[in-house]
Amino acid sequence: MNSEDYGHGKKHDDDRPDTPGSKYKLDALARDTKRSKSYLAGEAIASFVERNAWQIEEIKEGLREAKSGAPGVPHAEVEKWVRSWGGKRQLTRPGPRKS
């Protein structure tokens, strides 16, 4: 893929998220849905933000909970339990303990 100048003096090549056919797919989608490419791009961005924002919030909540000293299950115990799934001797789910 060739580098392209996006008008701000920087070149971008394979690190951008589009694929070679993305422009044509976007053009077709805009035409078929009778929506502008800007509208579709805005919808895609909104969807991406919504999809990722809840994950980040859940991670933050988990970190707050871990730092609070509330009872929890050590990661190593969860890993050991999960690795036992489907084996001859599946372990019981580990219970929370005070940190």
Under 8 Å between Cβ of 37 and 27: yes
Q: What is the pLDDT of residues 12-61, one digit of tens each?
A: 444 556 677 888 999 999 999 999 999 999 999 999 999 899 999 999 99
The mean pLDDT of 1-16, rounded to a whole number, is 47
Helix (H, G, I), strand (E, B) or coil at 95: coil
The ranges assigned to domains in the chain are 18-68, 71-99
What integer pLDDT is reported at residue 22 of this predicted model? 87
Q: With helix as H, strand as E and coil as C, how does 67-84 read?
A: HHCCCECCHHHHHHHHHC
**Residue 6 pLDDT more than 80?**
no
Q: Dig out the tokens for 76 from the structure.
A: 């190593």
pLDDT band at 4 (very low <50, low <70, confident <90, very high): very low
What integer pLDDT is reported at residue 78 of this predicted model? 94
